[in-house]
Amino acid sequence: MRTILLFAFSLLISLPSFAQVGTAFPPMDCQNVDGVKSNVPNSLKGKKSVLCLAYSQKAQEKLQGWIDASVHNLILRSTEQSLIPEEPYNIHAFFIAMLTGANQNFSAAAEGQIKKNIDVQLHPYILVYKGELEPFKSKLKMDVKDDPYVFVLDEKGKVIYVTHGVYTDKAMDEIEELIAEE
């Protein structure tokens, strides 16, 4: 009986982390550091998308591991240096810095830091969102402030996968498996 109760309790605890799978990603007006505006997910429809979001300084720091791996695995997959060049994925991939609350007042400085510290080739993949956090936090269950969140969206903008925290090879393998499916 005790084992059944423990199992039921652990199942209840894990359900919220998967609750956002199957829901439509809420609209988010962003712009990249070069000033190009877009609406996520509306401007992404037609292709699967990988979105990495962070809304705190600690989450931004953890996001770096995702950026490093994603640039190689997802964005710049086909290289001339490879003996056997790999076919690049036909996806959208973005890293989104969420400036919410009082942090919106520092958006110009944040964008300047991004522009200064990120390779120019990656500027189109770095988006900045300025606005309210609550619609995303509640709908997407982004409850761990100090973690980056990684969402995979289908071609219609629906969440098909989510993880959060530091980069892991296991999570990247799961993402690559999903985006490789036709």
- Centre a 10 Å sphere on the Cβ of residue 121 and count the other Cβ atoms it contains: 10
**Taking the domain 21-180, which CATH number applies?**
3.40.30.10
Closest alpha carbon to 98 in 134, 152, 72, 46? 134
Mean per-residue pLDDT, 94-112:
76
DSSP characters over 63-116: HHHHHHHHIIIIIS---TTSSSPPPPP-EEEEEEEEEEGGGGGGHHHHHHHHHH
pLDDT at res. 13: 36
4-55 pLDDT, tens digit per residue, is 333 333 333 333 444 489 999 999 999 988 889 999 999 988 999 999 999 9
Tell me how long the chain is. 182
What integer pLDDT is reported at residue 14 of this predicted model? 37
Stated pTM of the model: 0.81
Q: H or E stretch including 127? A: strand 126-131
The three-state (H, E, C) secondary structure of 131-157, written as one string: ECCHHHHHHCCCCCCCCCEEEEECCCC
Could you read off the pLDDT of 109-120 as tens digits, one per residue?
Answer: 767 777 777 778
Query: DSSP secondary-structure letter at 123?
Result: G
Q: Is 32 left (phi over 0), alpha (psi -120 to 50) or beta?
A: beta
pLDDT at 86: 58
Domain spans of the chain? 21-180
Q: What is the pLDDT of residue 85?
A: 52
Mean pLDDT, range 57-71, rounded to an integer: 88
Write down the mean pLDDT value for the chain: 80
pLDDT at 83 over 70: no
Rounded (10°) CA dihedral 110, 30, 174, 143: 70
What residues contact residue 57 under an 8 Å CB cut-off, 6+ apart? none
The DSSP letter of residue 24 is: B
pLDDT digits (tens, 9 = 90+) for 158-169: 999 999 999 999
Which residues make beta-bridge pairs with 97?
54, 128
Residue 154 has pLDDT above 80, yes or no: yes
Average pLDDT over residues 128-132: 92
Q: 91, 76 in Cβ contact below 8 A?
A: no
pLDDT(135) > 80: yes
